[in-house]
């Protein structure tokens, strides 16, 4: 499990350094399934890459992000994040989110985000 802790720590560090897309390319599987709360999941790296880029390009002011807690288990990691930014369409967003990642062969194959919208 120490290997998984190293991977999620590196991924989080990359996000904090403004390298979210580089982290996405490095740690996400080609067939990754990503889901926001109970919304329909998005399948495939290309679809999710487009969504991530669109999200990042819609942030007009970024005030901070911080991982509050990291937990790992067998092929699973969970990160509680605090975010503070202004989004072009959603306005000011200041909230906590939990991301649950399922790993296989060193890549995230499924990620689900839990937050109060």
Q: Which three-class secondary structure state does DSSP give residue 24? A: helix
- Residues 101, 114 contacting (CB under 8 angstroms): no
The predicted structure's pLDDT at residue 15: 94
pLDDT at 89 over 70: yes
Per the CB < 8 A criterion, the answer to whether 85 and 63 are in contact is yes
pLDDT number for residue 59? 96
Q: Is the pLDDT of residue 2 over 90?
A: no
- What domains are there in the chain, each with its CATH number? 2-115 (3.10.450.50)
Q: How far is CA 100 from the centre of its chain?
A: 9
Q: Which residue has better confidence, 116 or 30?
A: 30
Q: What is the pTM of this model?
A: 0.93
* Start-to-end C-alpha separation, the chain: 32
**39-73 exposure pattern, b = at least 16 Cβ within 10 A, e = fewer:** eeeeeebeebeeebeeeeeeeeeeeebebeeeebe
pLDDT value of residue 117: 66
Mean pLDDT of the chain: 96
Backbone phi and psi for residue 76, each to the nearest 5 degrees, phi listed first: -140, 140
pLDDT tens-place string over residues 48-82: 999 999 999 999 999 999 999 999 999 999 999 99
């Amino acid at each position: 499990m120490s290997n998984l802790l190293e991977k999620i720590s590196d991924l989080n560090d990359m996000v904090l350094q403004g390298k979210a897309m580089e982290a996405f390319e490095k740690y996400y599987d080609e067939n990754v399934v990503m889901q926001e709360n109970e919304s329909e999941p998005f399948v495939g790296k290309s679809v999710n890459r487009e969504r991530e880029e669109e999200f990042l390009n819609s942030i007009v002011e970024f005030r901070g992000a911080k991982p509050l807690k990291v937990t790992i288990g067998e092929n699973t990691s969970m990160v509680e994040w605090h975010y503070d930014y202004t989004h072009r369409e959603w306005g000011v967003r200041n909230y906590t989110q939990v991301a649950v990642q399922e790993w296989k062969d060193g890549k995230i194959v499924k990620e689900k985000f839990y937050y109060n919208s």
